[in-house]
Amino acid sequence: MANAVTNPKADKGLPLSAPLQGARVLIYSHDTFGLGHLRRSRAIANAIVEDRPGASVVIISGSPVIGNFEFESGVDYIRIPGVTKLPDGDYRCLNLNVSLDEAVGLRQALILQAARAFRPDVFIVDKEPTGFRGEVVPALDYLQATGCRLVLGIRDVMDEPALLVPEWERKGATEALTRYYDEIWVYGLKDVYQPLKALDLPAEVERRITYTGYLRREVPPTPSLTKYPKITKQPFILVTTGGGGDGDDLIDWVISAYEADETLEQPALILFGPFIDRDKRRSFMERIARQPKLDAMSFDNKIERLMKRADAMVAMGGYNTFCEALSFDKRTLIVPRTRPRLEQYIRAVEAERLGLVSMLSDYKEPRTPERMAAALRNLSSQPRPSEVFIPGLLDGLDRVQERLKALTETRAPFAPAYHQAAE
């Protein structure tokens, strides 16, 4: 399912480095909002060190909740000042009382310093070729000069072409693909969706694209310290909105279905997420308390255990949740967000076309309690993802390991002047 990949630096006769066993990988996690980018980067980092115990991985992230997650031995993170997206689409600094420009300058300096100090063999940039407002460009320039392999990793769906093309042109993203990146990893399948097709990339860039397949997820080896409600001791539907910052409509829709239809038999557990508005959460809890077949939790950093335990899932359709639904073979109802991007809607349409999930959307039809109640009732008879055979569907982490091995075997040794003097 993958295109042939060429490595421009590999054709230059560069000396071979040590194998991946002792490699260093730096990951930049584009995480101005939510949990998606962080959780994807964490899955990749953990898989790298599990497969190669001698490897070291550092994740650069601005997520305020990165410290709540467990990482495998060999993985660590650097927390840079966070930024957050406002309802009008603009951004502001999350915690510091400084301007956005000053925050970006600080983030940029920290990213570059991390690159200089860590000396990675491979630098994986998540989603944004130039980073948030171009903040990774100095690090890309520096690392390219050292012979470090540069990789852009993107999810299966970015956005509808009408919005993606002008956005990437404005950011200089297409130019950055050509100038910097040895490889582009699409964490999905070409037969499902081609996220960069509308960009009309040069042939030399197209040849660097690998469709890895989706990134499978595992249940964490250690138990969760979170106490689960009694509702989880019987077959239940898990309702999750990821980080929760934009999941109000889904939560409201599910609650309204139980309020309107007392014949719904299967109970549901609603997981709010850490970024839900406190007032909205309080209002939801008041309504949930009046429904005997509903319960709620605020946040679980080992949500995979809840997913494994659930009989079915209802989710917004972000990339990570979709991977988890496939990995744990759960009957899933996707209720995609359609504002400000159609990313989740596009993914849900394609996944439903393949028979992997069912979809319920208010994009073109009204959001009524009756529609949600009917969709929840139909979940029990829906096929599981495993009943649909799609070659390479969950091979993403295996392909990542293969490409990392190939990249590090042709990576030139890092030898700046100060490093040579130290030796």
CATH code of the domain covering residue 117:
3.40.50.2000
Structural contact between residues 27 and 56, judged by C-beta atoms closer than 8 angstroms: no
Host domain of residue 306? 230-387
pLDDT, greater one: 422 or 139: 139
Integer CA distances (angstroms), 387 to 11, 298, 356, 383, 390, in order? 43, 33, 8, 6, 10
Cα–Cα nearest to 190, from 204, 170, 211: 211
Task: Give the DSSP H/E element, type plus range, for residue 13.
Answer: none
pLDDT, greater one: 62 or 184: 184
Residue 66, pLDDT score: 87
Average pLDDT on 346-369 reads 94
Confidence of residue 332 (pLDDT cuts 50, 70, 90): very high
Integer CA distances (angstroms), 200 to 154, 206, 345, in order? 17, 9, 23
Identify whether residues 16 and 159 lie together within a single domain: yes
pLDDT digits (tens, 9 = 90+) for 234-268: 999 999 987 767 889 999 999 999 999 999 999 99
Residue 89, pLDDT score: 66
Residue 10, pLDDT score: 39
Identify whether residues 34 and 174 lie together within a single domain: yes
3-class DSSP state of 104: helix
Residue 114 has pLDDT above 80, yes or no: yes
**Residue 89 lies inside a defined structural domain of this protein:** yes
Residue 415 has pLDDT above 50, yes or no: no
Identify whether residues 234 and 366 lie together within a single domain: yes
- The least confident of 35-39, 91-95, 271-275 is 35-39
Confidence of residue 9 (pLDDT cuts 50, 70, 90): very low
Average pLDDT on 38-44 reads 91
CA Rg value for the chain:
22
Average pLDDT on 217-230 reads 86
Give the span between the Cα atoms of 11 and 197, in whole angstroms. Answer: 26
Cα–Cα nearest to 100, from 59, 134, 60: 134
- The least confident of 31-35, 82-86, 210-214 is 31-35
Identify whether residues 180 and 277 lie together within a single domain: no
Identify whether residues 51 and 199 lie together within a single domain: yes
Cα–Cα nearest to 309, from 254, 230, 366: 230
Structural contact between residues 101 and 70, judged by C-beta atoms closer than 8 angstroms: no
**Residue 222 lies inside a defined structural domain of this protein:** no
Cα–Cα nearest to 355, from 393, 322, 387: 387
Cα–Cα nearest to 51, from 416, 413, 369, 403: 403
Residue 302 has pLDDT above 90, yes or no: no
Identify whether residues 256 and 363 lie together within a single domain: yes
Identify whether residues 298 and 212 lie together within a single domain: no
Average pLDDT on 281-309 reads 93
pTM of the predicted model as reported, rounded to 2 decimal places: 0.87
**Residue 334 lies inside a defined structural domain of this protein:** yes
Identify whether residues 40 and 181 lie together within a single domain: yes
**Residue 2 lies inside a defined structural domain of this protein:** no
**Residue 221 lies inside a defined structural domain of this protein:** no
Give the span between the Cα atoms of 184 and 178, in whole angstroms. Answer: 10
Average pLDDT on 20-29 reads 87
Give the span between the Cα atoms of 55 and 191, in whole angstroms. Answer: 33
Total domains, the chain: 2
**Residue 375 lies inside a defined structural domain of this protein:** yes
Give the span between the Cα atoms of 161 and 302, in whole angstroms. Answer: 34
Task: Give the DSSP H/E element, type plus range, for residue 331.
Answer: strand 331-334
Identify whether residues 382 and 416 lie together within a single domain: no
Please give the share of the chain, as a percent, with pLDDT higher than 90.
Answer: 73
Residue 15 has pLDDT above 80, yes or no: no
Identify whether residues 129 and 204 lie together within a single domain: yes
Residue that the structure tokens 């071979």 belong to: 16
3-class DSSP state of 258: helix
Identify whether residues 207 and 256 lie together within a single domain: no
Average pLDDT of the residues of the chain? 88
Confidence of residue 34 (pLDDT cuts 50, 70, 90): low
Residue 122 has pLDDT above 60, yes or no: yes
- The least confident of 78-92, 231-245, 334-348 is 78-92
pLDDT, greater one: 414 or 164: 164
Backbone dihedral angles phi then psi of residue 318, each to the nearest 5 degrees? -65, 165
**Residue 96 lies inside a defined structural domain of this protein:** yes
**Residue 224 lies inside a defined structural domain of this protein:** no
Backbone dihedral angles phi then psi of residue 89, each to the nearest 5 degrees? 95, -10
Backbone dihedral angles phi then psi of residue 334, each to the nearest 5 degrees? -95, 125
Residue 85 has pLDDT above 90, yes or no: no
Residue 16 has pLDDT above 60, yes or no: no
Identify whether residues 118 and 212 lie together within a single domain: yes
Give the span between the Cα atoms of 122 and 58, in whole angstroms. Answer: 11
Write the Ramachandran bin of 359: left for phi over 0, alpha for psi from -120 to 50, otherwise beta.
beta
- The least confident of 34-48, 83-97, 129-143, 292-306 is 83-97
